[in-house]
Amino acid sequence: MRKPIIAGNWKLHKTVNESRHLIQTLAENLKDVTDAEIVVAPVFTALESAVAAAKGSPIAIAAQNCYPASSGAFTGEVSPTLLKDIGCTGAIVGHSERRQLFGESNAFINAKVQALLAAGLRAIFCIGETLEERESGRMYDILTGQVKEGLAGLTPEDMDKVVVAYEPVWAIGTGKTASDEEAEEAHAFIRGLLQGIFNENVADKTPILYGGSVKPGNVDGLMAQEDIDGVLVGGASLVAEDFIRIARFQRSETVQQ
Ligand code: PGA
Q: Give me the residue spans of the domains in the chain.
A: 5-247
Confidence check: pLDDT of 25 > 70: yes
- Of the pLDDT bands very low, low, confident and very high (cuts 50, 70, 90), residue 254 is low
Confidence check: pLDDT of 186 > 80: yes
Give the closest residue (by CA) to ligand 1 atom 7.
234
Nearest by Cα to 230 from 38, 12, 9:
38
Rounded distance from Cα 9 to ligand 1 centre (Å):
7
Q: Among the atoms of ligand 1, which is closest to the Cα of residue 213?
A: 5
Q: How many whole angstroms separate alpha carbon 197 and alpha carbon 146?
A: 12
Mean pLDDT, all residues of the chain: 96
Q: How many whole angstroms separate alpha carbon 94 and alpha carbon 110?
A: 9
pLDDT cut 90: percent of the chain above it: 95
From 37, 104, 129, 167, active-site residue: 167
- Of the pLDDT bands very low, low, confident and very high (cuts 50, 70, 90), residue 257 is very low
Q: How many whole angstroms separate alpha carbon 56 and alpha carbon 54?
A: 6
What CATH code is assigned to 5-247? 3.20.20.70
Q: Among the atoms of ligand 1, which is closest to the Cα of residue 175?
A: 5
Confidence check: pLDDT of 256 > 50: no
Tell me the pLDDT tens digit for each residue of 198-212: 999 999 999 999 999
Mutate to test the pocket of ligand 1, among 40, 98, 213, 245 (most ligand atoms within 8 A of CB): 213
Q: How many whole angstroms separate alpha carbon 60 and alpha carbon 42?
A: 11
Give the closest residue (by CA) to ligand 1 atom 1.
234
Confidence check: pLDDT of 177 > 90: no
Rounded distance from Cα 186 to ligand 1 centre (Å):
17
- Of the pLDDT bands very low, low, confident and very high (cuts 50, 70, 90), residue 253 is low
Rounded distance from Cα 211 to ligand 1 centre (Å):
6
CB-defined site of ligand 1, < 6 Å: 9, 167, 172-173, 211-214, 232-236
Q: Among the atoms of ligand 1, which is closest to the Cα of residue 215?
A: 3
Q: How many whole angstroms separate alpha carbon 197 and alpha carbon 126?
A: 17
Question: Does the active-site annotation cover 95?
Answer: yes
Phi, psi angles (nearest 5°) of residue 59: -90, 125
Give the closest residue (by CA) to ligand 1 atom 2.
234
Tell me the pLDDT tens digit for each residue of 27-84: 999 999 999 999 999 999 999 999 999 999 999 999 999 999 999 999 999 999 999 9
Q: How many whole angstroms separate alpha carbon 131 and alpha carbon 169?
A: 7
Question: Does the active-site annotation cover 21?
Answer: no
The pLDDT score that the predictor gives to residue 176 is: 85
Averaged over 219-232, what is the pLDDT? 98
